C-alpha cells in the first residue's frame, strides 16, 4: 500500500516538474523570438466588401467617437459599409443621425438603423442589421471600443489568404 502511494506521489511530482519545465521552455522561446516580427501577408488583389456593425443603446457620450473611429478605418471606401444599429430611447438617435449625415456627406457608405423595439437587445439589433448588410465579412465593434484605423487592413488578409 505504501509503495502504491509513493508511486502516485512520485508520478504527481514528475508531472508537475514537466509542467514547470514547459513554462520555462515557453519563456525561453518568447525571449528568443520577441523581436522578430511576422512577415506581413500580401494585400489581396481585390479587397472583399466588409460591413462594420456598431450596436448602441443610449450611449450618447460615446457615439460620436465611435462613428469617427469607424469613419477613420483605412479600408477602400467602395468596399466598406458601416451600420450604426441603434436601439436607443434617449437623444442618442438624434445625435447619431447628425453624425451619420456628416460622414455620409463625406462619401462614406454609412447607415443608421433604428429599431422601435429592443427584442433580442444588441444581438437582435445585429441580426436586424445582417438583413441589410452586403459585406462578405462582418466586423462588430461595441460602443466603448475604438478600433485602430489599420484594423481591417491588418485583419482581412488573414481571412482571405
**DSSP letters spanning the chain:** -HHHHHHHHHHHHHHHHHHHHHHHHHHHHHHHHTTPPPPPPPPPSSPPPEEEEEEESS-TTTHHHHHHHHHT--S-GGGEEEEEEE--SSTHHHHHHHHHHHHHHTT--EEEEE-SS-TTHHHHHHHHHHTT---SEEEE--TT----TTHHHHHHHHHH-
* C-alpha cell recorded at residue 62: 460615446
Q: Provide the whole-model pTM.
A: 0.76
| Per-residue model confidence (pLDDT) at position 18 | 96
pLDDT at 43 over 90: no
Bridge partner list, 82: 52, 110
| Per-residue model confidence (pLDDT) at position 161 | 66
Task: Work out the average pLDDT over 39-59.
Answer: 89
pLDDT at 75 over 70: yes
Please, are residues 58 and 89 in contact by the beta-carbon 8 Å criterion? Answer: yes
| Per-residue model confidence (pLDDT) at position 160 | 85
Task: Work out the average pLDDT over 53-58.
Answer: 94
Cα 123-125-127 angle, rounded to 5 deg: 70
Residue 33: φ, ψ to 5°: -110, 5
Task: Work out the average pLDDT over 84-107.
Answer: 92
What mean pLDDT, rounded, does the chain reach?
91
pLDDT at 74 over 70: yes
Amino acid at each position: 500500500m505504501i509503495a502504491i502511494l509513493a508511486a502516485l506521489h512520485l508520478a504527481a511530482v514528475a508531472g508537475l516538474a514537466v509542467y514547470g519545465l514547459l513554462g520555462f521552455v515557453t519563456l525561453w522561446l518568447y525571449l528568443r523570438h520577441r523581436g522578430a516580427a511576422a512577415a506581413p501577408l500580401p494585400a489581396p488583389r481585390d479587397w472583399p466588401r466588409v460591413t462594420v456593425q456598431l450596436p448602441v443603446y443610449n450611449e450618447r457620450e460615446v457615439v460620436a467617437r465611435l462613428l469617427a473611429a469607424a469613419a477613420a478605418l483605412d479600408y477602400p471606401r467602395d468596399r466598406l459599409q458601416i451600420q450604426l444599429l441603434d436601439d436607443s430611447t434617449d437623444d442618442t438617435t438624434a445625435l447619431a443621425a447628425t453624425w451619420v449625415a456628416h460622414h455620409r456627406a463625406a462619401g462614406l457608405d454609412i447607415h443608421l438603423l433604428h429599431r422601435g423595439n429592443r427584442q433580442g437587445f444588441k444581438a437582435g439589433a445585429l441580426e436586424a442589421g445582417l438583413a441589410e448588410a452586403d459585406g462578405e465579412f462582418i466586423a462588430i465593434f461595441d460602443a466603448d471600443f475604438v478600433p485602430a484605423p489599420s484594423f481591417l487592413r491588418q485583419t482581412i488578409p488573414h481571412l482571405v489568404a
